[in-house]
Amino acid sequence: MYIDIGAEQIIGADRGNDKIAVEVKSFISPSRISDFHLAHGQFLDYRYALEDTDPERVLYLAVPHFVYQTFFNLTFINSVVQRSQLNLLVYDLDKESIEQWIK
């Protein structure tokens, strides 16, 4: 499966002894809920594809810090994240750093 999402992308890497893949999302459209629906669906599809092709690799959804603080703390969104077992990576775009790994 080839993945090309414009400025957003999937990145394969190693984190310590763990093999990971990171789906980077910016959530810049006018509708955060639409961005979330798209990211959620893509995340599940990519996770299923990785289970078939590289089952040791763990997928993370990377989201900007400001989106995590404001949108991902909403009760419904938090519930979907938990029920879907989405692994999150929270990044700070300005500092170009990772703030949190949430599994």
The pLDDT confidence band at residue 87, using thresholds 50, 70 and 90, is very high
pLDDT tens digits, one per residue of 48-62: 988 998 888 889 999
Give the long-range contacts of residues 44-51, CB within 8 A, separation 24 or more. 44/84, 46/1, 46/3, 46/10, 46/21, 49/1, 50/21
Total-model pTM:
0.84
> Which CATH number is associated with domain 10-102?
3.40.1350.10
Q: Where are the domains of the chain?
A: 10-102
Over residues 6-60, the pLDDT tens digits come to 334 455 555 677 788 888 899 999 999 999 999 999 999 999 988 998 888 889 9
